[in-house]
A = this chain, B = another copy of it.
């Protein structure tokens, strides 16, 4: 017997969060009711606003609640002339956290995957091409994932850049800093060897 239909509904709803099963949802519901109703009410409001207002940046396609995201709207960054291409907004966040890049981004929201019917149009390459034509940059950095699809996507965009005589580069793949050789997979190690640099 459910002693509170509303509580059951709350537990069900919480399982829409990734990685949250029935047991965790129960723990969350009771925690919020007993100890943090204020935080839960805040979360309710922010969730609503985020889902209603966050769309894609009209220029780089990352998530933003404005027409242009804060990076595209930043004059120094758009004047840098360097465009970094990534698969997802999460990747933008990861690169931003390094604070090592001060250009702008273009977010594919996926990668080429002919089997799933995802071609150049679906990952925004028509938009990217017209941007490159109208507003040529000095360098395009291809930061798609080091997977088969990510590599194919990078290769496709490199050809697009060649057409407009724009320099395209690929981020380096190799042994992570602090990583130990014996624990690295063979594929990464192969990349690390073929990408070796003279000291």
Partner-B contacts on A (CB < 8 A):
1-7, 9-10, 13-14, 16-19, 24, 26-33, 36-37, 39-54, 57, 62-65, 69-71, 74, 88-90, 92-93, 96
Contact = CB atoms under 8 A, between A and B. Distances in A.
Nearest to A29: B50
Given A39-B13, A47-B43, A64 B4 contact: yes
Name which of A3, A17, A44 has the most chain B CB atoms within 10 A of its CB.
A3
A102 to B, nearest CB: 9
Contact of A63 (B4, B16, B45): B4
B63 A26 contact: no
Nearest to A18: B31
Contacts of A89: 3, 30
Contacts of A50: 6-7, 9-10, 29, 32-33, 40
How many copies the complex holds: the figure is 2
B4 A16 contact: no
A98 to B, nearest CB: 12
A65 B4 contact: yes
Contact of A6 (B13, B28, B39, B49): B49
Given A7-B63, A41-B52, 11 more contacts: A4-B62, A4-B63, A5-B70, A13-B43, A14-B43, A16-B40, A17-B17, A17-B28, A19-B28, A30-B90, A43-B44
A7 B54 contact: yes
A36 B14 CA distance: 12
B51 A41 contact: yes
